[in-house]
Amino acid sequence: MAAERIVDNLDVFAENFEGIDLHGKKITKAEFEDCTFVSCDFSETFFYSCRFVECRFENCNLSLMKLTNTKMSDVDFVACKMIGIDWTMADWKSLLNADPLRFRECILNDSNFFGLSLEGMVMKECRAKEVDFCNGTFQKADFSGTDFKGALFANTHLEDANFTEAQNTVIDIRSNHLKGAIFSRYEALFLLETMGIVLVD
């Protein structure tokens, strides 16, 4: 399908899009279900009131993509560059039973998940540097193998979340909710350091 076929009010099912370049363009009220996007450039693309359900993005550039009033449910992102996305602009409230987003081997630096409730989200082996998770609910999330250098956690619900093999997880256990969360032994030391505890061999 050619790039010019991704237009306003498009409604497609089970289509494959490869090498599409929509850099900086605006798409309004398009709906994609069970679609796959491979090696596409959606950097700075403005998706307004769109819908992505059961879709998959592979090796795409989605940096600074805007998702105003856009719905996303059961979407996979694999090896995508996704720097600087404000996920709070998407439409989460009208999705009563939204299935979680899954990020694998993605670059999510400088993104914003402030205040979102995305239980069961997967963020595996990603780079999530300087990402804001404050006031969010990410219970049962899988954060294994991800680098959280500079990421912000405050009043964040992380019950039963998996941080196995995650790196640079500096989370204050006094101001976050961590019951049942799983950490590798070495990373757990960072949790104690936030309390000023000194550890010796």
- Name the residue ranges covered by the structural domains of the chain: 8-99, 108-196
Matching fold, domains 8-99 and 108-196: yes
Chain centroid, CA 70 distance in Å: 14
63-121 pLDDT, tens digit per residue, is 999 999 999 999 999 999 999 999 999 998 876 566 789 999 999 999 999 999 999 99
Would the pLDDT of 3 be above 50?
Answer: no
Whole-angstrom Cα distance, residue 189 to residue 139? 21
- Beta-sheet strands, E only, within the chain: 11-13, 16-18, 26-28, 31-33, 36-38, 46-48, 51-53, 56-58, 71-73, 76-78, 102-104, 122-124, 162-163, 182-183
Nearest to 101 by CA among 156, 62, 150: 62
**Which CATH superfamily hosts domain 8-99?**
E3 ubiquitin-protein ligase SopA (2.160.20.80)
Q: Tell me, what's the pLDDT at 191?
A: 76
Confidence label for 4 from pLDDT (cuts 50, 70 and 90): very low
pLDDT for residue 187:
79
What is the DSSP code (8-state) at residue 41? B
pLDDT at 180 over 60: yes
In DSSP terms, 56 is beta-bridged to 36, 76
Confidence check: pLDDT of 197 > 50: yes
For domain 108-196, which architecture applies?
3 Solenoid (2.160)
What is the Cα–Cα distance from 72 to 14, expressed in whole angstroms?
Answer: 16
